[in-house]
Amino acid sequence: MRFLITGGAGFIGSHTAELLLSQGHTVTVLDNLSTGKKENLAFDKKVEFIEGDVKDKAACERAAKGQDGVIHLAAQVSVIHSLENPAHTHQVNIDGTLNLLEASRKAGAKSFVFASSCAVYGDNNQLPLMETATLKPLSPYAVSKLAGENYCGMYRQSHGLKTCVFRFFNIFGSRQDDTSPYSGVIAIFAKRLLASQGVTLFGDGNQTRDFLYVKDLVKVLTLAGSHPESFTGPAYNLCSGKQTTVNQLFAHLSKAAGKSVSTQFAPARTGEILHSLGSYQLYGKVADSLGAPFQPTPLEEGLRETVRWYASR
Ligand code: NAD
Ligand code: UD2
């Protein structure tokens, strides 16, 4: 099949491109390189790269033309930025998603996969979170993801475009940006451990997250891209179904890096949720029915591979 990946030069997008190419598909990437990098796409097999913005309707139409499947990952991804600049987040994440949906419908795409986020649950503490849990978006980022989900549902109902919506929990792995103070905790800890620098744990380090390895995630995205008819629900959680404290995470990473560095505790980040845990039961059933059971990589194994990659750069 021919796939368009928006945001394909980013962390998750580049892994999606790599897997689709290895499966024999043709890949086009639409990315404005705001956080992504061309070097993320330096594989043996090449992708067609279009430098462009999802806010630009014409660019979306050009990129979607002739595509069988669209995997829409391009987004303004920072919660903090969204609180400071809600209008920009709205334009990229809501207008951009609408541009892509419309372009995909016009192009007659057979599938449309959308990256939503567990942020749509907000501080809901009915753990583990099922897709039916109350949604409490607490940031423009979360609101924009929920709007994208609703637009996807509308395009499925009203236009027959086979949209598949996934709520990603905390994703980690190689190529995740480690340069910003708001980078994912695993990228920050791995980088600092390898440089023998101390780390900061916010709060008491007993807050928990549900970490999923990027290679598990992209298998799901590519499966949905080729079997969209199986994903009839409004949204599916993509998570490991396991809760890990930040303290435990640090211990695993320290072991993987073979280093021990100093730790300091700092006040908990304002507005941050204490615990997060998802259930992938709903996705698990679809995966079983497609003969591709979902078996998340054990955290320690994913962390070892991730640390090896950061060390090799
Ligand atoms: P990333 O920043 O590495 O990737 C985003 C990509 O989108 C980048 O390549 C960037 O250049 C591109 N982009 C941004 N604005 C654009 C625009 N206006 N036009 C075209 N391209 C644009 O982030 P990621 O972690 O790979 O995130 C991918 C998707 O997954 C996003 O939609 C994000 O909201 C979602 N998500 C990620 C996580 C996670 O844990 N990483 C969790 C929940 C949801
Ligand atoms: C994730 C997303 C965020 C948003 C949110 C929604 C990432 C990087 N962030 O935020 O965009 O979708 O989920 O719920 O995917 N921590 C430390 N020390 C550090 C860095 C982090 O202790 O140096 C802690 C942090 O306080 C938090 C945990 O590690 O408790 C995870 O932090 P994160 O920024 O990786 O992810 P999260 O879940 O806060």
Query: What is the per-residue pLDDT across 4-23, written as a single tens digit (0 to 9) for each?
Result: 999 999 999 999 999 999 99
Calpha distance 209→278 (Å, rounded):
9
Find the angle CA(179)-CA(184)-CA(187) to the nearest 5 degrees: 60
- For atom 36 of ligand 2, the residue with the nearest CA is 184
Note the helical H segments in 198-298.
214-226, 246-257, 281-289
Which residue is listed with tokens 């207008």?
A: 95
Query: What's the pLDDT at 78?
Result: 94
Give the global pTM. Answer: 0.98
Q: Quick check: is 151 catalytic?
A: no
Best mutation site among 77, 165, 212 for ligand 1, i.e. most ligand atoms within 8 A of its Cβ? 77
Q: Which ligand has the shortest distance to the CA of 245?
A: 2
Rounded distance from Cα 73 to ligand 1 centre (Å): 5
Calpha distance 294→115 (Å, rounded):
18
Residue type (1 letter), 213? Y
Task: Read off the pLDDT of each residue in 176-193 and give the average, rounded to a whole number.
Answer: 95
Backbone angles phi, psi at 170, to 5 degrees: -80, 110
* In the predicted structure, residue 44 carries a pLDDT above the cut 90: no
Q: Which ligand has the shortest distance to the CA of 11?
A: 1
State the catalytic residue, choosing from 141, 213, 236, 283: 141
- Give ligand 1 pocket residues (Cβ under 6 A): 6-7, 9-13, 31-36, 53-55, 73-77, 92, 96, 115, 117, 168, 170-171, 177
